Chains A and B, each alone.
Chain A
C-alpha cells in the first residue's frame, strides 16, 4: 500500500475538493471571458492567446500533475 504525502499546490490548494472547485470556477470564468471578448472585440488574437495559455497551463498543472515529473518519491 502506498501512502502519498499531501502535496501543497499553488494558491495553497491541497485536497481534491479544493482543486475541483477552484478549477470549475477558473475554467468557467476563462471560457466566459474569452467568449465575451470574441463577441465584442474584432482584433482579439493576442488576448485569446494569453487566455488559452493560462487555461491550458492550469489543466496541465492541476489535472495532469505535470509537477510530478520532477518530484522525488
Chain B
C-alpha cells in the first residue's frame, strides 16, 4: 500500500511564516505608496496648494479613530468577547466608509483639475489610497460576516442568552491562533492603510518649504 508523506509545518514556524509574509507584503506596498508620494514633490514642488484644511483634518481624525476601534475589535476577538468584537468591527467599517465619503466630497469640491501638476499628484495619491481603504472595508465586511457566523469565536456561552450589545458576563472561549489569524491579518492591513495616510495627509495638506 502506497504511503503518502504529509509534511506538517509546526505551529511556531507557521506563525512566523504568516507574520513575515504579511509584513513583506506591507513593505512592497510601502514602495508603491512611497513612489507616488515622491512624485507629488517632483510634480508640484514643496509649496502647499489651496486645499480644504478642515475636511483634511476631519477625514484624518476619522481614519485614526477607525484604527483605535480596529485595535479594540482585535483585542475583543483575542479574549473571545464576540459582541465587543462585532461592535468594534462595525464601528471601524462605518468610519472607513465615512472616510471614503469625505474623500468623495474633497474630490467633487477640489479647486484644481487632474491635469494640473498638483491635481495629478493629489488625485493619484488619494485615489490609490482610497482604493486601499475600499478594499480594507470589503475585507472587514467579510470578517464581520464570518464573525457573525461564529467562525472566529465558535463557542457560544452556555447561558444561551443573546447579548447583542454587551458582553456576556460568563467565562469566554478564546479563539485558537488559526481562527484568529484572518482577523489579525485583516486588521493589520487596516492599520497599514492608516499608517500610509499618516504620511499622505501632511504631504497633501500641510507640508510646505518656501523656495
Residues of A within 8 A of B (CB): 1-4, 16, 19-20, 23-24, 27, 31, 34-35, 37-39, 42-45, 48, 51-52, 55-56, 59-60, 62-66, 68-69, 73
Contact = CB atoms under 8 A, between A and B. Distances in A.
A68 B19 contact: yes
A48 B206 contact: yes
A3 B78 CA distance: 10
A2 B176 contact: yes
Contacts, number: 87
Given A4-B78, A35-B57, A38-B206, A63 B71 contact: yes
B38 interface: no
B31 interface: no
Interface in B29-82: 46, 48, 53, 57, 60-61, 64, 67-68, 70-72, 75, 78
> Which DSSP category, helix, strand, loop or mixed, fits chain B's interface?
helix
Contacts of B15: 73
A38 B207 contact: yes
A37 B72 CA distance: 30
B87 interface: no
Interface of B: 12, 15, 19-20, 23, 46, 48, 53, 57, 60-61, 64, 67-68, 70-72, 75, 78, 173-174, 176-177, 188, 191-192, 194-195, 198-199, 202, 205-210
Contact of A45 (B60, B78, B177, B209): B209
A20 B177 contact: no
A61 B60 CA distance: 19
